[in-house]
Amino acid sequence: MSKTTIPAGGITDGTLTSAKLDQDGAFTFNEDSADVDFRVESNGNANMLFVSGGNDVVGIGAEGDLGVGLHIKTGDSGASVNTDAEELVIETSSGSGGMSILSATDGTGDIYFGDSGNNASGYIQYNHASNFMRFAVNGASEKMRMASDGGLLIGKTSNSA
């Protein structure tokens, strides 16, 4: 089988308007770029994965209704998203929301900031082996460190006299 195509308007109940299954197992929804939504249900959640074809939003846990990118939603906070940071939205209606970066005990957890000239213009890094956090700017040069004892080092990496 090379591919199976359901043409636009193909299924009579109106649920699926365009789809393609290739011989390699790839399945394409909404190949014609129509304003078509797609969702996957789980046990107890009608929108475990939700793709909004017209709004270019992917929602996990709920229909993506904030930003233009990935919206992970465990509850409705009632807040609106800042358009400067809408590509990844984590939303909850409980008191706290968050993100975890889990690494090996001898590894690091990293958040990098980059541009077309330097993919590491700056970063925030937690070093698990030595239990410190470093902050780097201007081409990924470390400028500040919070040491394991709580000391704040600016412009240096050790607390030598």
Tens of pLDDT along 90-100? 888 877 888 89
Which tops the pLDDT comparison, 25 or 128? 128
Amino acid identity of 8? A
CA 101 → CA 123, 136, 145, distances in Å? 14, 18, 19
Give me the mean pLDDT over the 6-19 stretch.
51
Average pLDDT over residues 123-140: 94
What's the rounded mean pLDDT across residues 107-133? 94
- Name the band, by pLDDT with cuts 50, 70 and 90, for residue 7: low
**pLDDT class for 43, splitting at 50, 70, 90?**
confident
| Residue bearing the bigger pLDDT, 18 or 125 | 125
The first and second tokens of residue 109, run together, are 């957890």
User: Could you tell me the pLDDT band of residue 1, with boundaries at 50, 70 and 90?
Assistant: very low
What's the one-letter identity of residue 19? Answer: A
**What is the Cα Rg of the chain in Å?**
23
| pLDDT at residue number 135 | 96
Task: Return the ∠ at Cα 27 (arms to 39 and 45), rounded to 5°.
Answer: 20
Q: Which residues, in sequence order, are bridge partners of residue 73?
A: 91
Model's pTM, two decimal places? 0.65
The band of 111, judged by pLDDT with boundaries at 50, 70 and 90, is: very high
Q: What is the mean pLDDT of the chain?
A: 80
pLDDT band at 14 (very low <50, low <70, confident <90, very high): very low
